[in-house]
Amino acid sequence: MTKVLFNELGINGEITEGLKKEGIEYAAEIQYKAIPEALLGKDIVGESETGSGKTLAYIVPIFQKIDFESKDVQAYILAPTHELVIQIHNVIKDLACNSDIPVRSAAIIGNVNIKRQVEILKNEKPHIVVGSTGRILQLIKMKKLKSHNVKIIVVDEADKLLDKNNINDVKAIIKTTLKERQLMFFSATIDDRTLDIARDLMKDYKFIKAEQKTSMNENIKHMCFMCERRDKILILRKLVHILNPKRAIVFVNKPDEIEILTEKLKYHELRAEAIYGAEDKKDRKRALESFKLGKINLLVASDIAARGLDIEDVDYVFSYDIPEDADNYLHRAGRTARAGKEGTSICIITNKEQKLLKQYEKAFNIKINLKDMYKGKIIEHR
């Protein structure tokens, strides 16, 4: 596998330092292929599997090109789901925080009070607007979102956003910007229809395909325990007592459940603390310090809250809630077995959730072994 450092790609030092703080030094294939082309201002169609680093492939060039002293919106990132919008928005916030580059971002999605979003645009003056096509177009038509200085438009998951339900909105948004703007389409799969649309909308685009498959660290063991939803806390407590981890991260899917689970663990006298998003700096720093010093051995987090963590000697990762997709499974498991050490990823699942694990086994060519506990020991499932 080719290893390329971010500082070899023509990126400024603040960005590479920010990425380093997030534990990212080497660029993934889609990143080292796309970033230099994007920095040259070329239109791009990028194909790379889920979990391969597509988001940073376009965020990094945007960061380098933003005039952060301006109060104008300079980039639109269009995404098909609320979850992806929030995820991209958080990647931007984390990189801005870690690189000390004052890039401002706003997440604009449908089914949310539009007046509140108008206030955010007015008060925060974002450089980057990440959002759903329908709501962004609505705000443009209301003249609450101005496109005259937008120089980059990214269409993430282009296969979904360029389908017949969304293509007209995407084209309408593009038409509100200047002709010199840069267009980038990224997707796990690029079909002929997407390429036809690219030919129509782009000027001499560069097609970039990442050939390498995302691989799982071979030093990670994978196992799961099955129970009723209500028994998950009991299973987690038993596992902590049996395994006595030096450091373990416990993942939940919903940020509002982080505190609930942490308090339950503390009630049972387990050494746990919670971490929230990057904006909660003081408490986050204190919890991470306690974790690194060994004052606590359980860190409860959501996928977004744990983004950018780079902690050595995490020997276990517990998925209290099953990862929602293969990308999240890869990122969670990757928190352990750093620097050549071994680690274990453990999912606590219900019967219905077995199907998802089968998908992850297939995606990464791994075996997630179903286990039981008996008399204080972990045994094969009977």
Q: Are 152 and 184 in contact (CB under 8 A)?
A: yes
- pLDDT, average across residues 126-153: 96
Residue that is last in its domain, among 177, 207, 237 = 207
Average predicted confidence (pLDDT) for the chain? 92
* Whether 162 and 54 share a structural domain: yes
* Whether 291 and 158 share a structural domain: no
* Whether 156 and 119 share a structural domain: yes
Q: Does 213 fall in a domain?
A: no
* Whether 196 and 319 share a structural domain: no
pLDDT, one tens digit per residue, over 185-221 is 999 889 899 999 999 999 899 999 998 666 788 999 9
Strand partners, 45: 185, 207
| Residue 107: per-residue pLDDT | 95
* Whether 26 and 138 share a structural domain: yes
* Whether 181 and 247 share a structural domain: no
Calpha distance 20→241 (Å, rounded): 34
* Whether 67 and 201 share a structural domain: yes
Q: Which domain holds residue 14?
A: 2-207
Handedness of CA 258, 25, 150, 73 (dihedral sign): positive
pLDDT, one tens digit per residue, over 160-183 is 899 888 999 999 999 999 999 999
In CATH, what number is assigned to the domain containing residue 312? 3.40.50.300
* Whether 85 and 172 share a structural domain: yes
| Residue 308: per-residue pLDDT | 57
- pLDDT, average across residues 331-337: 89
* pTM exceeds 0.75 for this model: no
Q: Which residue has the higher pLDDT, 281 or 298?
A: 298
pLDDT, one tens digit per residue, over 27-41 is 989 999 999 999 999
* Whether 313 and 171 share a structural domain: no
| Residue 58: per-residue pLDDT | 98
Q: Does 104 fall in a domain?
A: yes
Q: Does 72 fall in a domain?
A: yes
Q: Which residue has the higher pLDDT, 4 or 2?
A: 4
Question: For residue 350, with 0-12 CB atoms within 10 Å meaning exposed, 13-18 middle and 19 or more buried, which class applies?
Answer: middle
Q: Does 212 fall in a domain?
A: no
Q: Does 332 fall in a domain?
A: yes
Calpha distance 329→357 (Å, rounded): 9
Give the 3-state secondary structure of residue 346.
Answer: strand
